[in-house]
Structure 1
Amino acid sequence: MRIVQLANMYHARSGGLRTVVDTLGRGYVAAGHDRVLIVPGVKRSVAEDEHGTVITLPGTPVTGGYRMILRAEKVLDILEELNPDSIEVSDKATLAPAGTWARERGVRSILFSHERLGEMVANRTRSKSESLQKAAMRWTRKIVTWFDEVVATSAFGERELALAGATNIRRVPLGVDLETFRPGTGPGSVLMRATATSRPGVVCLVYAGRLSHEKNPQAAVEAVRVLRSWGVDARLDVYGSGSHYASLCRRAKGLPVTFHGHVAQRGNLAKHLAHADLVLAPAACETFGLAALEALACGVAVVAAAGSGAAELVSQDPGGLLSCRVVHGGARPGAGIAVPPTGPGMAAGVLELLTFPARERAAAARERASQFPWSASVGRMLAIHEGAERTVDAA
């Protein structure tokens, strides 16, 4: 079977989206399928390797160094040449017409929903205009009818699609590389520090992600300010780059916050995560929270924004701050907590999680991450590409 993946906003530093698209693509090839990826770039090129074919088309520069293919016609012409059996579109904007192209030709089509469009528009425009929200919903109602299946990664991600009237939603949680992202055992790791006597009471926090408005990194910085005002010796390491870098540096002035920039190698990021006491995931619009899952795999508990997809990964009550000692399904206590996505909210979550011993947090976090191997995500996606019944959906 030939599977063609289409992705906009695909970039060397695009983090989650690129990780998802590439990992699924490698899984398709490993299963014996022919995989082609079409993405934007500076100029047109075609490259082939053991993971399939990558076709780059000239894209228009947009925010943060990203590019977008604005004219679907260029992509549709290539699809005609490729003659795919199934297409997977990771874009709700200019590449969405590929769904109607596929339907007219009897080609299977999947829309992979990486974000809630209404919230993305609000974040990009810095406006909660009712007219913009209605326009986003009208567009979502239209495009979900163009595809055979629409994939969401969480209950949070599904809600907007359901409100748009989609009846073809499949839930496919993302995965994590459990070999690359694993608990640290060397000097400086959280478990080693838990038994050390030096620098008692220091709380090492990490934020890993894009430094942009929708990711809400300012809440992580403010959490440090609040914790220190409460007498907690909190430190924050920030891994990522983006348009908010300068403003965050100004906000963090006088605080023990260190900006390390983008970390290209996943293995290096894993080592940094494994040295944290806790990871902060303050993005309220996160539809899954891949960085949060990677932290869990490293044995590090996560303070997540209430109501987000990341909150579903870590908290007994993803809707808000409750004692995570109360067990009623989901993640084991100590893996994480859902809190209001503000400085005080994040700070309160940090204090709550620190009431669990480090080894207990590490075991709970790793146990939760082990429920999300990439092999399960690839298997579900292949079943959808092949038109399998809905029994493959995640619970």
Structure 2
Amino acid sequence: MRIVDVCAFYAPQGGGVKTYVEQKLRAGAAAGHDIVILAPASNADVVERNGGRIVNLPARRFPLDRRYHYFDDEASLHGMLDRLKPDLVEASSPWSSAAMVARWPGDVPRTLIMHADPLSAYAYRWFGSVAPREMIDRGFDWYWRHLRRLDQGFDLVVSASESLTRRLAAGGLTRVETLPMGVEPGFFSPARRNETLRARMLERCGLPIHATLLIGVGRHAPEKRWPQVIEAVTSAGYHQPLGLVLVGDGRDKAKVGRAAMHNPHIQLLAPTRDRTALGALLASADALVHGCEAETFCMVAAEARASGLPVIVPDEGGASDQADRDAGLHYRARQPDSLAKAISKFVAGRSDYRTRAIIAAPSVMTMEDHFSRLFDVYDRFGREQRHAA
């Protein structure tokens, strides 16, 4: 099967979408599929990679982030789809490119992959302090109408978490299926725990070896809410020795640094692309703490779970799916006091939480599992007549 992924937010410089794309290319080739990534770019060319192809289509540069381009010519996009002759088309962004794919007259199945949750990342965060979510949804009804039109134009809408699936269904979408993502195999395991590394991280935090070591990983961006996490860790740290290592960088770096500057037990580390090193960092901490309620899946929480780490996550968004009663804790999203209480609860039962998390680690899905399930669904479409309008 030739699968064409119209991937609006692919950038060669890196990021989560690039990681996903490269894993899809490998998995598709292994399964006997011809995977083509159709990406907006400055120039037209074709890059052979991991058993598949990345076809770059000239498009305008995205004004808010110069690493990216965006599809701005519907006729050009349709013409390329005609030339590629796919058996199935994916759209990886819920914005204008998805509408273009829905309007393409080709008579093949098409799926929308919800890699983004713009309402949670922006609207709910901007207005959540002054209006209930129901009112915000009414104010952004134009977006829900857009999603419902896409729902009718696609044969399947793929959601990576049950929490997002429930919200989409409540908003009137009828073709949503939950297909969780997974971790990259070979990098994340409790066996990567290194007590010497743990002691060194605690020493950097100015704490003894019996202290609790939390880790956070992610971009320094408003929706990640790192200042809120830092506030909660500082509050909980008044009652027990508690350190936090925060791995990441981004446009909010200065703001995150200011939030952490008065707590010597918090250390900010630069991001790493070394997956082996990240696996060791995660496995050598005591728990992952996360602040973002707008995740569609929360890959870092899945990686932490695969590393045998309990996760302390908000009770909304994809991250909430990553914590269960045995090996993780929820706190009220956007509430630092609730997070501080959850941290203290974890510290009190640290050994038990860790034991249960280690037992559960092998059950975490891998990306190989994810793509196997995804391609099975696509094979089903190959045997059915397209029903989208």
Q: Structure 1 CA distance, aligned partners of 2:250 and 2:200? A: 32
Q: Residues 305-353 of structure 1: CA distance to partner in whole angstroms, max 9, x if unpaired?
A: 112222222123xxxxxxxxxxxxxxxx1x2111123322222222222
Instruction: Calculate the TM-score normalised by the size of structure 1.
Output: 0.83
User: What is the deviation of 1:231?
Assistant: 2.9
Aligned-pair RMSD on alpha carbons?
2.9
Task: Extract unaligned runs of 5+ from structure 2.
Answer: 385-389
CA distance in structure 2 between the aligned counterparts of 1:56 and 1:123, rounded to whole angstroms: 34
Give secondary structure in 1 for the equivalent of 2:242.
strand
Asked whether 1:304 is paired with 2:313, we answer: yes
Which SS does the other structure have where 1:337 is aligned? strand
1:124-183: CA deviation from partner (whole Å, max 9, x where unpaired): 867875665212111111111111111111121112321332221111011113421112
Sequence identity (%): 24
2:214·2:287 contact (CA, 8 Å) conserved in 1? yes
From 142, 145, 149, the equivalent of 1:138 is 145
Relative to 1, partners in 2 of residues 1:264 and 1:22: Cα closer, same or farther, differing over 3 Å?
same
Distance 1:212 1:366 in 2: 33
Q: Give 1:59 deviation, angstroms.
A: 4.5
Residues 126 and 172 (structure 1), Cα distance of their counterparts in 2 relative to 1, 3 Å cut: same
Contact 2:82 2:106 in 1 (8 A): no
Matched, 1:153 2:160: yes
Look up the equivalent residue of 1:338 and give its one-letter code. Answer: H
Structure having the larger proportion of residues in helix? 2
- 2:387 is matched with none
Question: Pick from 302, 315, 320: which aligns with 1:293?
Answer: 302
The separation in 2 between residues aligned to 1:59 and 1:365, in whole angstroms, is 47
Q: Equivalent residues in 2 for 1:1-395 (5 A)? A: 1-11=1-11, 15-57=15-57, 58-63=59-64, 65-73=66-74, 74-102=76-104, 104-122=105-123, 132-183=139-190, 184-188=192-196, 199-228=208-237, 230-255=238-263, 256-316=265-325, 333=326, 335-341=327-333, 342-358=335-351, 361-365=354-358, 367-368=360-361, 370-387=363-380
1:286 Cα deviation from its structure 2 partner: 1.4
**1:72 to partner: Cα distance:** 4.6
Q: Give the aligned length.
A: 368
- C-alpha change, 1:193 and 1:362, in structure 2 (3 Å) is farther
Q: TM-score, normalised by structure 2?
A: 0.85
Letter in 2 for 1:311: S
Q: 1:133 to 1:162 in 2, by over 3 A?
A: same
From the superposition, tell whether residues 14 and 366 of structure 1 become closer, same or farther in structure 2 (CA, over 3 Å). farther
Distance 1:245 1:37, change over 3 A: same
Structure 1: 5+ residue stretches without partners: 317-332, 391-395
- Between 199-208 and 55-64, the greater mean CA deviation after superposition: 55-64
State whether residues 121 and 136 of structure 1, in contact with CA within 8 Å, keep that contact through their aligned partners in structure 2.
Answer: no
